Amino acid sequence: MKSLFGWLRRRSEREEEWREEIESHVQLRQEWNEARGVPADEARRAARRQFGNTGRTLEQVRAVHVCGWVESLWQDVRYAARGFSRSPSFSIVAIATMAIGIGASTAVFSVVDRLLFRPLPYPKDSQLVSLGYFGPIDNMEFNVVASYLEWRERQKVFQSITSMRPGARCDFQAGETPQQLSCYGVEANFLKTFGIAPALGRDFRAEDDRPGAPTVILISNALWKTQFGSDPLVLGRTISLDEERVRIIGVLPKDFEMPQLDDADVLMAARLLTNRPRAANASAPLRTFARLRDGISIGQARQAMLPLFEDTVRQDAPFELRSELRLVVRSLRDRQISEVKPASWMLLGAVLALLLAACANVANLMLARAAARRRELAMRAAIGAGRGRLIRQMLTESLLLGVAGGTAGCGAAWLLLRASIRLAPEGLIRLNQARIDPRVLVFALAASFASTLLFGLTPALERPRADALAGWHAAGSIRIAVRKLLVAAQVAISLVLLSGASLFLRSFWNLESQSFGFQAEHVVTASFTLRRQRYRPPEALAAFFREIESRLQRIPGAGWFALSDSIPPRGSMGRPYSNLKIEGRPPVAAHGGMVAFRWVTPGYFRTMGIRILAGREFTEQERRGADTPLILSATLARRLFGRENPIGQRLDLDRSGRWLPVVGVAADVKNSGIAEAPDPEYYRLRGSSSQMPRSGVALFRTSLDPATLARWIRREFASIDRSVPVTVEAMATRVGRYTDRPRFVALLVTLFAAFALLLAAVGLYGVLSFLVTQQTQEIGVRMALGARPRDIALQFGRHAGVWVGWGIIAGLVGSAVANRAIKALLFEVAPTDAVSLLAAVMVLAGIAGVAVCMPSHRAARIDPLVALRHE
């Protein structure tokens, strides 16, 4: 760079020198003439005449020293740069517009590209499908061993079908410190189906996968690195997993991804129990994946699997569930992105709209500039600049602007991507893989270049007219029409974005302000999972819970305390509604969906702040009895008993013949995410003899801060069993995570809408200012003839009102279409919500009003005397 400037400086010095040399020649000739007695005046004129065109000579000398085109290009660039620096506001606005358009669209596309378009990291990834039953039990398709074995046997559409057991935490003893790893049991053909081979060692073989075969494992690359120092001798070593010795046979590739995108530290052979009675296998859950045969589509595969599905669902699914289960066969990508797919498409659409608005704005600016320069171009044409030269000049200017805007855009894209990776909520899949995508960058650059070039060239393409020299802006009415159209388009685009944004904001507001059924403030949660092996005997498990409960309860200042196996707004297990039986009544309706339930201690309702609507809470005395009582959620009580009083009724929950009395009805609590209506739910009292899961959550309603309490809690856990990992968190933080994603989406869309609005305002302001300048004389005449300033301002206001009006109408039509598409993303607000639309129109009209007011006022303040002297 430095040498370039140096070269340029030397160039201009030398240029000066050449000029001097020619000048000295002319003077020497003049001297010589004078010496021959010619009068001084005549001598000088003769000398000039004789030399001829000095400019041409200089040009030729210059041509000797540099290649001509570089020279004239440099001239153009210099000229253009000078032009831009003369109107910095134009350049800044144009460059900023491009930066926003390019930056935002590239950043967003780079994120969604990974989700929607990039191939998954498996060979021939489009052949991979996820399949299984889909029903109210799970939000993903699942399978059971019994059905799967039959599918595997009889299917004809897949090259390969494979399965994996649900992931489990397993205990890993590495030296002193116990760890919990994420372990998956997979079939022997699992990796082969995905087209993956271990990075080191061997894949599972059929004999590893037989029931009762010794456990062999593949470990993840990450685990290999952290626990074994990437030692290749790890193959064949045995380690302790769940207090069993298992042998490592291989290491997974570094970039290996589990098909459901969870982290897996260890894969072990699934060893499905093929010879168990069918009923036992019907309750063993699986996830199933397959690779399609060549030339078979997903639709065809689904059709082919339907008879099999009908067959197995009849044999394996509980009667009550049968009608609620359906067969799902979908691409692996669809399974992976099922939750974020609508949001991704929506953001992509929104940002493309923004890019469109940015291009319209750049086009508008270029046209404004073109209009302002018609005179200058006419002048240059008059003094002999060729048409080609003028076109090249305009081209250079447009390119220069494009390059500046493009550079700023790349910078903006990088910044936005960084920012969104940092700001984005956890669990947005593949976000950390997002890189600035060169294809997208090129696309966005091309779009903005095209708009600068197309509209930047118009003045040069149009034949320069002599009347432009006179300062009369007679021509260009078409261009004005184009500009009005562009402004209307910008208004329409920003209205679409604004109405989307207001819907998202309202939806987010609804999410945040809804009642969860419990009070999260001042509640601290401590969740933990016990090791499998040590707590397998029920006595050990019960002893641990007894011990930890009495210890945690004694923490000073801990306030109200409760234990549960899970906490809202999620995490409760579900059972079919139709399993429930009311004593002395006919069976309940068959298709009731799922009922959630939790095991809680008596303090649960008080601690969580859940209201008891009827009856009472559990008591400590009841825990010692054999048949512990029940509390129903309001929804469940209403469904089971209608308007009758449920208190005192007895229920059989699982056809066990044990009748449990209902002692209370609790308020409904969000239990399947915050956006879904709550499932019916019942609470069981944690007794001394109850069957309980190995994981639990301790709850405290306390005025202590979570960090202080956390120390106490950890100490109590450690004093019983050091190996139990405990996560302490404020309830509000836990709940807050559920609104992170909608908040992020609302924020992004609002940001885009604000940008689009700003661009529309700039466009509106620009066109109107231009009209005012153009009509200064006319306004002057009218004012001289007695028009009041108000009339003038109103005239412009009305003018602008028409285009804005058309823009709003187009925008409303666009919103109606676009908002229908985002319906799935909204919470308790209809896509046609009048309040949101009205708010969007108001904001738009307000901003447009400001943008219109300023130039209109300027028009009204024009002094007729000055105006008539103008130009």
Partner 1 sequence: MANNRDHLQGTLELLILKTLERAPNHGFGITLQVQTVSDGLLRVEEGSLYPALHRMERDKLLKGEWRLTETGRKARFYTLTAAGRQRLAEAATNWTAVSRGVDKVLRFA
Q: Are 608 and 571 in contact (CB under 8 A)?
A: no
d(CA 685, CA 696): 14
Q: Are 824 and 506 in contact (CB under 8 A)?
A: no
d(CA 545, CA 721): 11
d(CA 363, CA 359): 6
Terminal Cα distance for the chain, rounded: 43
Please identify, using beta-carbon distances, which residue of 61 and 573 lies nearer to partner 1.
61
Q: Are 375 and 469 in contact (CB under 8 A)?
A: yes
- Tell me, rounded to whole angstroms, the distance of Cα 94 from its chain centroid: 27
- C-alpha pair distances (Å), 466 with each of 375, 379, 383, 412: 9, 8, 12, 43
Closest CB 107 distance from partner 1, rounded Å: 51
- C-alpha pair distances (Å), 210 with each of 150, 186, 656, 673: 17, 12, 34, 39
Closest CB 395 distance from partner 1, rounded Å: 29
Please identify, using beta-carbon distances, which residue of 34 and 622 lies nearer to partner 1.
34
Q: Are 92 and 415 in contact (CB under 8 A)?
A: no
Closest CB 45 distance from partner 1, rounded Å: 15
CA 21-22-26 angle, to 5 degrees, is: 115
Please identify, using beta-carbon distances, which residue of 57 and 72 lies nearer to partner 1.
57
Please identify, using beta-carbon distances, which residue of 22 and 845 lies nearer to partner 1.
22
Please identify, using beta-carbon distances, which residue of 57 and 723 lies nearer to partner 1.
57
Closest CB 48 distance from partner 1, rounded Å: 11
d(CA 177, CA 694): 20
Closest CB 39 distance from partner 1, rounded Å: 18
Please identify, using beta-carbon distances, which residue of 65 and 554 lies nearer to partner 1.
65
Please identify, using beta-carbon distances, which residue of 22 and 816 lies nearer to partner 1.
22
Closest CB 5 distance from partner 1, rounded Å: 23
In this structure, the number of other CB atoms found within 10 A of the CB of residue 604 comes to: 26
Please identify, using beta-carbon distances, which residue of 10 and 616 lies nearer to partner 1.
10
d(CA 490, CA 353): 9
Please identify, using beta-carbon distances, which residue of 34 and 150 lies nearer to partner 1.
34
Tell me which amino acid residue 290 is: A
Q: Are 263 and 278 in contact (CB under 8 A)?
A: no
Please identify, using beta-carbon distances, which residue of 36 and 422 lies nearer to partner 1.
36
In DSSP terms, 597 is beta-bridged to 573, 682
DSSP tag of 657? S
d(CA 415, CA 411): 6
- C-alpha pair distances (Å), 153 with each of 131, 212, 219, 449: 15, 21, 29, 58
Closest CB 58 distance from partner 1, rounded Å: 8
Closest CB 11 distance from partner 1, rounded Å: 14
Please identify, using beta-carbon distances, which residue of 65 and 585 lies nearer to partner 1.
65
Closest CB 78 distance from partner 1, rounded Å: 23
DSSP string, 225-236: HHHHTT-GGGTT
Tell me which amino acid residue 384 is: G
Closest CB 52 distance from partner 1, rounded Å: 5
Please identify, using beta-carbon distances, which residue of 7 and 32 lies nearer to partner 1.
32
Closest CB 89 distance from partner 1, rounded Å: 44
d(CA 686, CA 618): 10
Q: Are 562 and 608 in contact (CB under 8 A)?
A: yes
Interface ranges with partner 1 (CB under 8 A)? 18, 20-22, 24-25, 27-29, 31-32, 50-53, 56-57, 60-61, 63-65
Closest CB 29 distance from partner 1, rounded Å: 6
